[in-house]
Structure 1
């Protein structure tokens, strides 16, 4: 980068002169002082401004070519913007340099402070580059994790000494988890109405909250989660129960796993029934193996396509998709379609869904698994879990 202008200067005036004859540097400087004298009054006289240090040394570079002279003029100024503009404009009134006619044109006026800012930015980049070369820089994933961790730690609140999300008091629904790490993981994934019990004993503030708000217990998929659930069910007012997959803890779940577990929460009053009903028996009784291989592959493709969409497909007898709709609107929108042969959903099959299929004369219901023991009757039930285990 070129050397910065004189320290006092705030602006640099750049002008170009062309004469119709040969002139020298003293001729140009003499014309500048002589032909602008008195033009702007005594306060903006160039000689006085230079003597007081408000205008710097005028630089003139003259070149001659084919009997004509050309000059580059540079004038540093510490005046304000409007006064500097007047000085610059006065240069264009010069019409004679030495014995020759001439023209002067101001090409630009630079703010030296911008030049200094650019220098600072460029130099900062060089310094940072040197730091990266010498000390190494964390990769993008590590930097992202550091930022997320800082935000998560900042968002963790305190409710009577318990780790919680910022919306634990404002929200009408709350999620109870086991520890602070569970709270942090849910906050990271956008769930802010969460509170931890943080210990083997259920704290009284949590018990009080469960009596005032709709409460979901979201617990680890291990024996510790079973014990915490039993204690919560005994002394707190739990409305729903969600569990991490077997062997997993809430703090290590991905975003998809968290929302899947919360979507599949069950009413607390069904928890005991679910424990007493082995899932494999329910599946064997509910899903007779009456589908041929072609139908099974077709339904598997549909279910794979639906994963994560919370939607449902209606299919006709020829295995043509009739429509795709939100799962929440299935019970109403199915009435608008005739000849539905199969229903495929992104969710677990429940008895109400099977009853709807019976009522509408649907032959097959396909889902990700079973929510409960179902009485399928004449309806064929197909689940992805069975296909994967086959």
Structure 2
């Protein structure tokens, strides 16, 4: 979708990733494996890929900020409000676990989103749920998310840094940083992390979520442990979309529920006492008939909005005009280099607009939103 105003400013919004996203992509390069391996021929195993530049032939028409935002606003059923509406602490906690599983999206092998520029933003609303993201650091890449729903007294605060390393036959991206979900009227804060992203080239090409996710709420004395991905590193055993784990009491360590399933299908929950089995999560309810965001107020769109910053590149990729895509990507990057030189010449330090940021010596980033509530956005997700 392309939207224009009188001064020809363009916005490009592409459809959200779905469970069947892999089969829907038609802008990947031919001879994919050979082309990918050629990119890394001069990269040593163990190298940090923070400064690695990906040609537009290997991009798909979204920024990382848009992908992060989609995990919380591109959803068919309103799972977040269910978390707050549940009457008891166990039901609220299991609802949060189900919502956390819903944030997993199927990565697409062979293509990746754009690395956001410093100060890039993404602002979208879904009904009363308003989401705002900002790229608060470029090197290293750190993104912040603030989302609020005043009607349901819900707040999300994320601050995450992606650290990618090349391992010869694979690339592993560690997603550092905490994610907080606050049920304000309940006085409960749920802290959680993200699994890592593993891209394998050989022997079986694919992209997988792998690792352990922990979801913790001290106020109700509950914690969940979710293991994502196969047990075998080369992926010959198990399913790369599997989820196994448990929910237990923090104080006693007593297991309340056992979890098992696949995040792209269903995840079941078995009561450790009664052995009753229920469906905790159903991906079809979450991913079916996802709507592409639309521009509701073009004049209200910031110049830093992802859909505006990368519009020329996104349009070129969707048209498979790779020469134009290369020019568009170079233009964005050169503008950023000019702005950096200008700040350096003036002795200025860039400061985020929407977050207060702290950085610890051990490499941890933390952020606090500068506003209590995220305002309604000029880009909205249509409600079915």
- TM bucket, shorter chain: under 0.3
- Greater helix share, structure number: 1
Q: Which one has a larger percent strand, Structure 1 or Structure 2? A: 2
Q: TM-score, normalised by structure 1?
A: 0.21
Structure with the larger RCO, 1 or 2 (CA within 8 Å, 6+ apart): 2
